[in-house]
Chain A
Amino acid sequence: MIGSETEPPAPDAAVHPPHLAHHFSSPQQQFESGKLGMWVFLATEILFFSGLFCAYAVYRANHPDIFVYAHHFLDKILGGVNTLVLICSSLTMAWAVRCAQLSRRRGLIALLSLTLCFAFCFLGIKFVEYDHKWKHGLLWGKHFQPQESAGEPGSAAKTRESRQKADKQEAAIGPATPAPAGAAPAGSRDERSQIPPAAIGPRGLARTHPTQSIEKTPPKNVQVFFGIYFMMTGLHALHVIAGMIMLGWLLARSVRGDFSSAYFTPVDLGGLYWHLVDLIWIYLFPLLYLIH
């Protein structure tokens, strides 16, 4: 049995701990088995999210201009505050686990409640962000119809905001042409691209707009960024909600006095889940809000 140096002598065979399932030989083994199971589950959660991270990486690698353009619609301040809220909730959760391990029931109840409050706070801020995007048509697929002044307060530099307004007016006039606004990727211009489109040729390739108007239009297919944004943050928010249900259950059980230094496995494993939610957000925040 692997254990810390502080491992006590094996429990008296006559005294069976009340929380020890019959198929485990000791509380230590039961605890470690549960923990391994939880880590395997967390690994599957990481793999679950990796599909979306992969979609993000592929799309950003192919269309960096769209990400640079679209991230100005996200509010760095709100995103940053939400990151701090989740970090605080992680602290209170880790502290709650400590209280459970030390049989401090009052502390456990207080800290679990506090964690739940932070979770509500996170979702509240998330709602404000979603609501703003909903009202301004910054949505996925065909629902992407950006309205005037869609940039969130403090989301971008003033000059950029005014430029975006001009961009959006342009977008309202005619169909967008594929060109990044002021964010053209570095590289020499292709010689072939200077050749005017053929009178007879593949329809999709022939340019119908004069090149002068390209500079002011936003990149095409910006809606895909918002598809990725809503999928990633939405799935994360679902995990937050699942974590909140779990926190409520843990809170009810700790009020009942179920947990002590002899048995705190649910608090510990619930804590691991909650930290994973924080962990994913730690990556989501810079990837979605802090694009450069």
Chain B
Amino acid sequence: MSTDSSARESDAAAPTHGVGHVMSLPVLVAVWGALAVLTVVTVAVTKVDLGNLNLYIAMAIATVKASLVLLYFMHLRYERPVNAIVFVTALLFVLLFVSLALMDTGQYQPELIPGYSPAMPPQ
């Protein structure tokens, strides 16, 4: 695949050192194309009413896009795993933070003023 060609390329272009990983141009352009297509898709999907599913689809597409950026534009796929571990750890803490906050706030809803919360529809 492209991994081999880019490795060979970095060999030929920079024989004096082994620092970093050079991304091949076709891979960069392909990732860019995928990101652009996914952006159009995520806008198009909002025209279809799927209820709650819309949010999950939008977030799934955003996560695919973010992964593409991380893995290829940010070279995470070709680097030492420690960098990815640092970043993913931060994401896990974000997940913990947001989900605990949501669980907490969910406990208060029925006591709110009528009409202010989804648990109690307006009159």
Q: Chain A residues in contact with chain B, CB under 8 A?
A: 2-8, 27-28, 31-32, 35-36, 39-40, 42-44, 46-47, 50, 53-54, 57-58, 61-65, 76, 80, 83-84, 87-88, 90-91, 93-95, 97-98, 101-103, 177-180, 184-185, 187-190, 193-194, 204-205, 207, 211, 214, 220, 261-262, 264, 268, 271-272, 275-276, 278-279, 282-283, 285-287, 290-292
Contact = CB atoms under 8 A, between A and B. Distances in A.
Contacts of B40: 80
A3 B10 CA distance: 14
Interface string B65-96: 11001101111001110110011011101100
B90 A261 contact: no
The 9 closest A-B pairs by CB, nearest first: A43-B90, A292-B54, A7-B18, A286-B58, A178-B115, A91-B32, A185-B118, A261-B14, A50-B94
Secondary structure of the B contact surface, majority rule? helix
A12 B28 CA distance: 35
A6 B10 contact: yes
A217 to B, nearest CB: 10
A8 B75 CA distance: 20
B39 A28 contact: no
Contact size range, B = 35 or more
Interface string B94-110: 10011001100110010
Contact of B121 (A39, A189, A292): A189
Nearest to A276: B74
B87 A43 contact: yes
25 contacts: A2-B80, A39-B86, A43-B90, A46-B87, A46-B91, A50-B94, A50-B97, A61-B102, A62-B109, A62-B117, A90-B35, A94-B73, A95-B25, A98-B23, A101-B14, A178-B115, A180-B122, A184-B122, A187-B121, A189-B121, A268-B75, A275-B69, A282-B65, A282-B69, A287-B58
Contacts of B50: 292
